[in-house]
Structure 1
Amino acid sequence: MHRLIACLLMGLLLAACATRPASPAVVLPSLRLAPAALGQQVALQQRLVFRFGEHVRELDALLEVDADAVRLAVQAMGRTGVSLQWDGTTLSEERAAWLPAAVRGERVLDDVQFSLWPADAVRAALPVGWELVESGDKRELRKDGHAWLTRDRVDATTLRVHNKADGYHLTIESMAGGAPIP
């Protein structure tokens, strides 16, 4: 889970540093799912590999989820870039001054919840016109038949996320000895 969040942050970091279009082709919906909707407690240390165009960045993340909150801290080169806490109502964010403004806590939370929360919880939060499609280890968030956000489970500890709307790829790996990603 931490890796996922860290990867998401890294992706956003890279997106901010790279040349990108003025606006995405589509704005992905905000999920804002309750922490308890995950259905389990999670504590993970993760390595995130973010790819935006030709740029590749690696980040470390710590992710904790319990019935009351989602907590995420993402670090780059030993420095904390962002810490997030979501209690189901309020998203609190502490950011380092060096973190690009394009790295948005809201998008990180949405990508984490899209990737890890149960499909039924994600579907219930989607606005009209959006659908969640799952097939095996693949999950897609679609609008008008086009998949804008995908998640593939590579194995028990690795996820790959492709955000086509914002143009980045994220690989999330739980560290050696880490728990499987839900």
Structure 2
Amino acid sequence: MRRLIPTLALLCLTACATARPRAVAPEVELPVLGLSPASFGTSVDLTQRLSFAHDADPDGPRSLEALVEIDPAALRLAGFALGQRVFTLRWDGTALDEERDPRLPAQFQSRQVLRDVQLVYWPAEAVRAALPPGWTLEEGPGRRVLLQGGREWLTVRYGGEPRWVGRAELVNLAEHYRLTIESSPTEG
């Protein structure tokens, strides 16, 4: 039974972390931002509960716990399923390092995780500066929208201020998934 629990955790994460099943191709490739940790503008330590639902997954949503640290030197993110660490990412603005459980599926893409974290949390002006031609970011109270040629491809709704505390919901129309993030500052 002890050996079964980490396997079940990874199966849960597989469904949670897979950005898109092979049956549903993205409609457009969202830009990779590659923003520096320093451009975040502050330091935070967060505990998060992530809930992921893909349009093609009838058994969704799936849940995952995460710890996130952002400071001027690096973004560090660790993901846990059923109490087992299944991946760790570290981004210093130049290199993305990752440690992953060997059973973590190839569909789990650390660059995609980094992109989503930056689209949700980085200041709008930093995101706008990194967007390729044809892409725009609109931001208003409690809402952020990524567009290409006037068409919405990604929307983020925030439940609080600062944007990394409380609930944030990312709806990715290009890759057909919804990510709900419940964040709170890490104690101690």
When normalised by structure 1's length, the TM-score is 0.85
SS of the residue 2:30 aligns to: coil
SS of the residue 1:120 aligns to: helix
Of residues 89, 102, 106, the one that matches 1:97 is 102
Of residues 37, 43, 54, the one that matches 1:41 is 43
Residues 146 and 153 in structure 2, CA contact (< 8 A), matched pair in contact too? yes
Which position in structure 1 is the counterpart of 2:176? 167
Residues 51 and 63 in structure 2, CA contact (< 8 A), matched pair in contact too? yes
Of residues 6, 17, 23, the one that matches 1:13 is 17
CA–CA distance in structure 1, aligned partners of residues 16 and 119 of structure 2: 16
Cα distance change on mapping 1:11 and 1:52 into 2, 3 Å: same
Matching of residue 30 in structure 1 with residue 32 in structure 2: yes
SS of the residue 1:114 aligns to: helix
When normalised by structure 2's length, the TM-score is 0.83
Of residues 87, 90, 95, the one that matches 1:82 is 87
Of residues 42, 60, 63, the one that matches 1:58 is 63
- Code of the residue aligned with 2:171 in structure 1: it is H
CA–CA distance in structure 1, aligned partners of residues 115 and 177 of structure 2: 15
Residues 13 and 99 in structure 1, CA contact (< 8 A), matched pair in contact too? no
CA–CA distance in structure 1, aligned partners of residues 94 and 86 of structure 2: 23
* Gap runs ≥5 in structure 2: 1-12
Q: CA RMSD in A?
A: 1.8
* Gap runs ≥5 in structure 1: 1-8
Residues 18 and 107 in structure 2, CA contact (< 8 A), matched pair in contact too? no
Of residues 126, 131, 151, the one that matches 1:126 is 131
SS of the residue 1:122 aligns to: helix
Give the ranges of 4+ consecutive aligned residues of structure 1 lying more than 4 Å apart after TM superposition. Answer: 9-12
Identity of aligned residues (%): 44
